[in-house]
């Protein structure tokens, strides 16, 4: 699964995540994949402005100028990373949303997917969450529309549950925000090798999300 031979220093665990697998599936050239992941992990660790093009190239085990064979600029690298990560997220959620089942189950699944994603990809996720101010306005707009698509999925599940009477809440937007907070904040506090696996975190957050949409005493239903 991981590239054979002397693994590029610094790419490390990044080579095995969902994004890395996606890059392989889509037959991106090996050099591009290395550079892409180097950039993603460097941005995650030091931020966009704190990362130099030399850092990125060095992580990929290449010369300082090598990055420019794959990206037109450092900003372009950030842009491509953000788009790829968000598209993959949307895709995972859409596959889920297509199945029509009970709203509670769908909410469980959506929260699990997002939580696991933010845990397993916390470096890349934190880039998408906090580094996008460095993009050009045009690129920011493109990225924002994809973020909105993710919000829409969550909102859709909640409104469906309200419509069907499965969820009883007073303010859809507030609950949507709170549930997203539970999910995205995983990227801030999660550490690999911690007390809980990403899957366990997903289950836990799903439980908590359900508590938020099913207001307390409801003995007679």
Partner DNA sequence: GTCTATACAGGGATAGAC
Partner DNA sequence: GTCTATCCCTGTATAGAC
Binding site for DNA (CB under 7 A): 29-32, 51-54, 57, 61-66, 68-70, 72-75
Total residues in contact with a copy of itself, by rule CB under 8 A: 51
Residue with tokens 């992941």: 37
Q: Is 25 in the site for a copy of itself (CB under 8 A)?
A: no
- Cβ closer to DNA: 69 or 95? 69
From the CB of 53, what's the least distance to DNA, in Å?
3
Q: Is 211 in the site for a copy of itself (CB under 8 A)?
A: yes
- Cβ closer to a copy of itself: 10 or 20? 10
Q: Which stretch binds a copy of itself (CB under 8 A): 23-31, 34-42, 69-77, 125-133?
A: 125-133
Q: Is 167 in the site for a copy of itself (CB under 8 A)?
A: no
Q: Are 115 and 183 in contact (CB under 8 A)?
A: yes
From the CB of 26, what's the least distance to a copy of itself, in Å?
26
Q: How far apart are CA 105 and CA 161, in angstroms?
A: 10
Q: Are 214 and 167 in contact (CB under 8 A)?
A: yes
Q: How far apart are CA 139 and CA 1, in angstroms?
A: 32
- Cβ closer to a copy of itself: 15 or 210? 210
Binding mask 134-163 for a copy of itself (x = CB under 8 A): x-----x---x--xx--x------------
Which residues 49-78 are close enough to bind a copy of itself by CB under 8 A?
49-50
Note the residues at the interface with a copy of itself (CB under 8 A).
1-4, 45-50, 104, 129-134, 140, 144, 147-148, 151, 171, 173-174, 177-178, 180-182, 184-186, 188-189, 195-196, 204-205, 208, 210-212, 214-221
């Amino acid at each position: 699964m991981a590239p054979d031979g002397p693994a590029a220093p610094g790419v490390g665990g990044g080579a095995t995540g969902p994004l890395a697998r996606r890059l392989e599936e889509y037959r991106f050239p090996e050099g591009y994949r290395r550079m892409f992941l180097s950039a993603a992990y460097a941005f995650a660790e030091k931020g966009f402005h704190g990362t130099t093009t030399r850092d990125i190239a060095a992580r990929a085990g290449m010369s300082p100028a090598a990055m420019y064979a794959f990206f037109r600029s450092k900003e372009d690298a950030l842009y491509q990373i953000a788009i790829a990560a968000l598209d993959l997220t949307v895709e995972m959620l859409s596959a889920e949303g297509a199945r029509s089942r009970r709203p509670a189950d769908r909410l469980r699944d959506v929260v699990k997917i997002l939580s696991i994603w933010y845990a397993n990809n916390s470096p890349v996720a934190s880039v998408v969450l906090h580094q996008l101010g460095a993009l050009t306005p045009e690129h920011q707009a493109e990225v924002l529309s994809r973020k909105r698509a993710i919000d829409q999925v969550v909102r859709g599940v909640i409104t469906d549950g309200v419509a069907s009477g499965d969820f009883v809440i007073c303010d859809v937007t507030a609950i949507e925000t709170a549930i997203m907070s539970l999910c995205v904040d995983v990227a801030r506090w999660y550490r690999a090798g911690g007390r809980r696996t990403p899957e366990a975190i997903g289950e836990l957050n799903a439980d908590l999300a359900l508590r938020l949409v099913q207001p307390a005493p409801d003995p007679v239903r």
